[in-house]
Structure 1
Amino acid sequence: MIVYAEVEFIIHTAHSLKEKRAVLQRMTMRTKQKFNVSVAEIDHQDVWQRTRLAVVTVASSKEAADREMNHALHYLESNPQWEMLDRWREYL
């Protein structure tokens, strides 16, 4: 089972692309290390306070994939430096 999610965040503390990328790189790297997911920025690369991330996980069952995705999304959402604006999920 493959679970694909898109999440959009606003980074209130970023005042430049450099600050945005520092927050983004730290969170994507930690998320990949802690959970069995892949993460990539897919939109708003040139906007310094917004980002849209794609998160994907693969597992042998829907329940396992869903659990891993829930943990990863909860971890991403727990960062106090940004606020989640939108979340979308698809099962493939």
Structure 2
Amino acid sequence: MMMYAEVECMMYEGHSLKSKRSIIKRLMAKLRNNFNVAITELDYHDLWQRTKLGIVTISTSHTHAEQTIQEVLRVIDSYAELERTITDVERV
């Protein structure tokens, strides 16, 4: 079973692409290490206040895959530097 999430976030604190990339890089490393998910920035590469992330997890169980995505979303929500605005989750 594969679960896929597209997550859009706003970053109000950063004032440059360099600070945005620092936040995104730190978040992506934490998610990869803690949850064994594949994650990449999909859109808004040149905007310093906005990002869109694609996150994928694969599991033998639909329940486990869904739990993993929900935990990932909780970690994203715990980051004070960004706000999750739009989230689309699909079972693939």
Q: Same fold (TM over 0.5)?
A: yes
Which TM-score band applies after superposition, normalised by the shorter structure? over 0.9
After TM superposition, the score normalised by the length of structure 2 is 0.97
Give identity over the alignment, percent. Answer: 35
SS of aligned partner of 1:74: helix
| Number of residue pairs the alignment of both structures matches | 92
Structure 2 residues without counterparts, runs of 5 or longer: none
Instruction: Indicate if the aligned counterparts of 1:36 and 1:68 stay in contact, CA closer than 8 A.
Output: no
Aligned to 2:47: 47
* C-alpha RMSD over aligned residues: 0.6
Instruction: Indicate if the aligned counterparts of 1:39 and 1:55 stay in contact, CA closer than 8 A.
Output: yes
Compute the displacement of 1:77 (Å). 1.4
In 1, distance between residues paired with 2:41 and 2:2? 19
Structure 1 residues without counterparts, runs of 5 or longer: none
After TM superposition, the score normalised by the length of structure 1 is 0.97
In 1, distance between residues paired with 2:38 and 2:77? 16
